Amino acid sequence: MSIGDAIRRRRAGALIDTPIEWSIRATAFLTILILIGILTLLLWQGLQLFIDRGYSVSRFLTFDNAITDNTTDPTKFRFGIVPPLIATLWVTLITLVVAVPIGIATAVFISEVAHPRVRLIIKSVAELLAGVPTVVFAFVGLALVAPRMREVLGWGVGGLSGATAGFVVAFVAVPLIISIADDALQAVPRDLRESAYALGSNKLEVTFFVTMPAAISGLTAAVMLGMARAIGETMVVLVLAGGNSSIPENFTESMRPMTATIASGFGNATEQSLIRPALFMTGAVLFVLTFFTTLIADRVLERQRKRFGR
């Protein structure tokens, strides 16, 4: 084969290569497009509530109930964002109260105390836990947790309350917290620990006064991402939070967080109803909430990565 032939074949190859390479580049833009598309579509559908359907913005922001009636009359529509928002915050609070100590303690155990083989096993177990569908969690929670909440603590309606949901969501969020917290602890350089040992500290002191402070960004990010997971969890809160649409005074009451409001109302919402755009608007609030939590968590993680070069 002459050089001329080789060049010609090379050019023919480039004719095929170039369009494929461009379509590969395009997929990167597709991800950006999807993220922007999500917010745009939620707002486009959601803002119709105020623009087309004539529902007042102040009523949406202040009304103390969130009834998902399928109505087309803006004067009869009783839906405010505050009750689901507060319910979401209650459930998330309970989730964090349960999941953060357990998650961080487990991460400390597998990263600092346990044998590497035990660490691998626990990590696999945590991933299995993450793999269990949340609808199965909801169902098992309904059978095991709700009756105990009713009998022992007397909370909620038939044991269904923000606390019940938050407790079960904790097990949905905990694998994520463990995984990120464990990464953060593992990233702390060895010599930092060894210097402290050389000064006569024991393992507990090294863990609490050297390793954990050094990993604080990663641990914070772990908590924040666990929080984002709790805010967005749907099936568990739909089944276990009780479903009361008014403003919950505290976590022992029956309530309906944002995700559960969307899931329970969307099925029978008709095209012309007010509830459909109202639920899209709720979705937009939910999106913004988790978006900023994730964004801040990522910035915090970035700080740790820069610090330890990984």
Partner 1 sequence: MSTAFAPTPQIRRKRLLQTVVFGSTVLATIVVALPVAIVIEYVVSHGASAITPEFLFDGPARAGREGGFWPVIVLTMYGLVLAAAFAVPTGVACAIYLAEYARAGLLLRIVNLTIVNLAGVPSIVYGLFGAAFFFDVLNVEKSLWVASATLATQALAIVITSAREALIAVPPGIREGSLALGVSKLRTTLFVTLPQAFPGIVTGVLLAISRAAGETAPILVVGAILATNVDLNPIDAMQGRAQMLSFELYGRITEGLGFEENRKWGIALVLLTVVLIFNISALVLRYRIQSRSRR
Least separation in angstroms between residue 75's CB and partner 1 is 26
Q: What part of residues 192-211 is at the interface with partner 1 (CB under 8 A)?
A: 202-205
Rule CB under 8 A: say whether 246 interacts with partner 1: no
Exposure of 190 in the CB half-sphere (CA atoms within 13 A): 0
- Residue 23 or 58: the one with the smaller Cβ distance to partner 1 is 23
What lies within 8 Å, CB to CB, of 157 at 6+ separation is 242, 244, 254
CA distance 87 to 49: 22
- Report the alpha-carbon distance of residue 244 to residue 260 in Å, rounded: 10
Of positions 7, 8, 12, 37, contacts partner 1 by CB under 8 A: 37
* 285's tokens: 């609030």
Among 15, 9, 171, which Cα is nearest to 100's?
Answer: 171
Q: Are 261 and 66 in contact (CB under 8 A)?
A: yes
Query: Which residue's CB is nearer to partner 1, number 127 or number 249?
Result: 127
Residue with smaller CB distance to partner 1, 20 or 58 = 20
Smallest distance from partner 1 to CB 212, Å: 12
Interface pick for partner 1 out of 7, 12, 44, 209 (rule CB under 8 A)? 44
Q: Could you say whether residue 231 binds partner 1 (CB under 8 A)?
A: yes
Residues in 62-81 that interact with partner 1 by CB under 8 A = none
> Per CB under 8 A, does 2 bind partner 1?
no
Quick check: 23 binds partner 1 (CB under 8 A)?
A: yes
With 0-12 CB in 10 A as exposed, 13-18 as middle and 19+ as buried, what is 50? middle
Write out the binding residues for partner 1, residues 115-144 only, by CB under 8 A. 120, 122, 124-129, 131-140, 142-144
Options 52-60, 69-77, 156-164, 291-299: segment touching partner 1 (CB under 8 A) = 291-299
Strand locations in 119-183 (E): none
